Amino acid sequence: MAHFRNVSPIGALDIPALGRIVQAGEVFEVTKQTEDFFDAQPGNFARVAEPKKGKSAKPAASVAPSGAGDTTDTPEGDEQKEESR
């Protein structure tokens, strides 16, 4: 199976061949029968190299949430600094 990324300038796209909406930047898998459809639209879809066997991408759950470990000063961060003094 082939993997593609939604690179459409429009953003999220409803893809009838998949039966769902693909978000902007989302990587998705397509069947061998439909990959030519996606290859024919380089302005909307970019083929993504498949991971080598034995190596896989990290599951989404193991990725730190946005802002985790962020040390930039924010109003909340200032309050936390004052509390710890």
Q: What is the pLDDT of residues 4-43, one digit of tens each?
A: 999 999 999 999 999 999 999 999 999 999 999 999 999 9
- pLDDT, tens digit (0-9, with 9 covering 90-100), for 47-80: 999 766 655 444 444 444 555 555 555 555 555 5
Pairing relationship of beta strands 13-15 and 20-22 according to DSSP bridges: antiparallel
Which helix (H) or strand (E) covers residue 46, if one does?
strand 45-48
Alpha-helical regions (H) of the chain: 35-39, 75-84
Global confidence as pTM: 0.59
Q: Write down the domain spans for the chain.
A: 1-44
How distant, in Å, are the alpha carbons of 11, 40, 49, 75 from that of 4? Answer: 14, 12, 8, 40
